[in-house]
Amino acid sequence: MTSRKRSNSDKSAIVNLPLAPERTTKSVANKTVPPQKIFYSIVHAIPGRIRFRIPLLAIDSEYANKLKLAIESDPRVTNVRANPVAASIVINYQVGVISDNQMREHLISLIQTAQDVVVPKQVTAKSIILTIFDAVINLIDSTRNINQARNAIVHQRFRTDVWERILSTSRTIIKRLKSATIFILPNKRRQLHSNVKVDSQRLKLQP
């Protein structure tokens, strides 16, 4: 019997078999969600006054606050009255500065972009004083740690010296004052209108 040897062409045919094409997967990570369209209708409009009905006002108080804040930031607006129960908002504005159609388009733009408005944080006198108390307590704790480390190095052990007693007593007094402040001071809020951040490009409207 004679044995057959595979020719080089046969080997190359085996080696050069076409590979199965790789499956490509499309990444959806880079897809951005389009902004939510805010539905509205114009109930009535006269020169210097317009009333919108926006269903979202009745179910989203955060959006209602942002929209009111965005409209109030326009110097041409003289008064804004929002009624979340009726899902409506009434805007009074200066007549003659720009046309009524331009002002209407501007307000519609604000309705659509109000969700991007950054609402300023509300500051209370109580929160300011409590923050000061916390800062003083942290300072005392840091000083105590330094004093305890010094005692450990000098005396090779923890030692309650005069400074430790003073700092410990001071910390107790500050904590009691802080607790008393929580019950005494009212939560009177002061809104920082100077920190309102509204996109100037969106609010800008050419007369």
* Domain termination site, one of 56, 85, 119: 119
The full DSSP string for 52-89 is EE-GGGGT-HHHHHHHHHHHHTSTTEEEEEEETTTTEE
- Do 45 and 90 lie in one domain? The reply is yes
Indicate whether 154 belongs to any domain. yes
Asked if the model's pLDDT at residue 95 lies above 60, the reply is: yes
Indicate whether 18 belongs to any domain. no
Is the pTM of the predicted complex or chain greater than 0.75?
Answer: no
Asked if the model's pLDDT at residue 14 lies above 60, the reply is: no
Q: What is the CATH number of the domain that holds 104?
A: 3.30.70.100
Count of structural domains, the chain: 2
- Do 113 and 138 lie in one domain? The reply is no
Q: Which residues contact 150 (CB under 8 A, 6 or more apart)?
A: none
Contact (Cβ atoms closer than 8 angstroms) between residue 104 and residue 45? yes
Phi-psi domain of 48 (left: phi exceeds 0; alpha: psi -120 through 50; beta: other)? left
Which structural domain range is residue 146 located in?
Answer: 122-191
Asked if the model's pLDDT at residue 62 lies above 80, the reply is: yes
For range 51-73, the mean pLDDT: 90
Q: Which amino acid is at 121?
A: K
- Do 76 and 46 lie in one domain? The reply is yes
Give the separation between CA 110 and CA 54, rounded to whole angstroms.
12
Asked if the model's pLDDT at residue 190 lies above 70, the reply is: no
- Do 154 and 108 lie in one domain? The reply is no
Indicate whether 151 belongs to any domain. yes
Largest CA-CA distance found in the chain, in angstroms, rounded: 111
